[in-house]
Structure 1
């Protein structure tokens, strides 16, 4: 089954969105920008499937090498990231603690992310840039105190994240990781969003991360400690989820920090995050100017 792929991109500095096809990208913003200025408004109006249908059998307006990929959701109200959420990740900490009762989470800024095929930036203050491949839920319907049984109705789409982390900076403080998670252009989102249809699409996604072709992370969403229904219910207890919110759901074991010695990213590396039914998010690495 081929899923529709809707992307945000720039051409000559102009922000656009469209449908990715085998031969390029169909510019949907040229046709529907009056109704939906960005994919965020399209999501809020429940229009993703309409857009995907409208692009079917249309010729591409741009070749893929003529565009610059952007994170799919422009200016999301919230980017909420889940910490330790695969069973082997809990064991990685070697602190003897049982699986946590509640999920760990933190917020990231939109500015900390780049799009597909744009290099991550290793900051000048640290050599400890690390990768974390993750499956992402994009919220389509607002909700507060969402029941677990209703939670999946609030998902609009799926995408991928390389939740790049500056390891020494996540340890600066006693109780928080915010600094090391929000360096500019250290993570990526994309390459596109895939409209959500039903639970079978997310129940058992295989998620992998390769660095320079070497498999580093490999797990399945069926093994999450805190599943998608629970996460949306739990998060909506303290905040209203709104269309375009981005929920980054956790990374498998195998990040660079866990090797002995650690294997941090260096300029020239290529990281590929891949998930069944979503696609492959690819980024290089450069040093901060």
Structure 2
């Protein structure tokens, strides 16, 4: 049985959310929109499974190819991205340093992401657009100073990210990577969220990235340097995590920058991020107009 899948999408110019089935999308916003305007409010109310169950009782309202997919969580308060979180990724830096004591991290803006099947935009300012496939946690329950033992109780759902990066722009300054991570429409989130129900969904699942059908990244979440419990504990030490917050948990080795010569994305390329039990996030590439 396929996992429950809930998505945000637009159709005829209107933003909606619904339950994704193999046959199409059941429009849940038409049925629950007064109580929950977006999936963020559904998450805050703890109602994901209720709506997923409701979606299973109806015939689809929209064909899958009739909608424009959007990032699943509209206007999240925070998008927190974790860097260098797989062992081989740390070794890629060739700086002789052991695994870091604390996680590297940075913030991204919602405008830097598109949805499933939308093209990533290679900006005029740089040809060094790179891919990074990652598993994403969506926070469902607010908390500060969350214990590791309680951390997974704060997860509402999981999704996928292509954390697109402009490699030259992340090196513009001495201490930050913000500008290289936040060009408009250079990353993607989606295609949907899968409600989180048990640790086995995320504890040790395969995560892959393909570019034009070639596998470039292939690892398992069980190998993370900083695991999901630790990340939620650590993040909640300095910030209150709230429903709808997005935590992008790190990418395996194999990004385009690490090839010799580098293999950056170009118009016409197709990137597919896949994780067991979640799905496939697919995007093409175009040049900025």
**TM-score, length basis structure 2:** 1.00
Helix, strand or coil at the partner of 1:77: coil
How far residue 200 of structure 1 moved from its aligned partner, in angstroms, is 1.0
Helix, strand or coil at the partner of 2:204: coil
In 2, Cα distance between the equivalents of 1:268 and 1:45?
A: 41
How many residue pairs get matched?
289
Answering whether residue 167 of structure 2 is matched by residue 180 of structure 1, we say: no
In 1, Cα distance between the equivalents of 2:12 and 2:132?
A: 31
Aligned to 1:124: 124
Q: Deviations over 1:13-52 (max 9, x none)?
A: 1000000001110000000001100000000000000000
Aligned to 1:13: 13
Aligned to 1:75: 75
In 2, Cα distance between the equivalents of 1:76 and 1:125?
A: 27
Q: Deviations over 1:76-130 (max 9, x none)?
A: 0000000000000000000000000000000000000000000000000100000
Helix, strand or coil at the partner of 1:105: strand
Aligned to 2:155: 155
How far residue 205 of structure 1 moved from its aligned partner, in angstroms, is 1.1
> What are the residue-to-residue correspondences of 1:39-188 with 2, within 5 Å?
39-188=39-188
Give the root-mean-square deviation of aligned CA atoms.
0.5
Q: Deviations over 1:168-212 (max 9, x none)?
A: 000000000000000000000000000000111111110000000
Aligned to 1:262: 262
After TM superposition, what 4+ stretches of structure 1 lie above 3 angstroms from structure 2? none
**TM-score, length basis structure 1:** 1.00
How far residue 57 of structure 1 moved from its aligned partner, in angstroms, is 3.3
**What are the ranges of 5 or more consecutive residues in structure 2 without an aligned counterpart?**
none
In 2, Cα distance between the equivalents of 1:22 and 1:136?
A: 23
How far residue 58 of structure 1 moved from its aligned partner, in angstroms, is 1.1
In 1, Cα distance between the equivalents of 2:150 and 2:158?
A: 17
In 2, Cα distance between the equivalents of 1:9 and 1:37?
A: 13
**What are the ranges of 5 or more consecutive residues in structure 1 without an aligned counterpart?**
none
Answering whether residue 253 of structure 2 is matched by residue 253 of structure 1, we say: yes
How far residue 285 of structure 1 moved from its aligned partner, in angstroms, is 0.1
Aligned to 2:221: 221
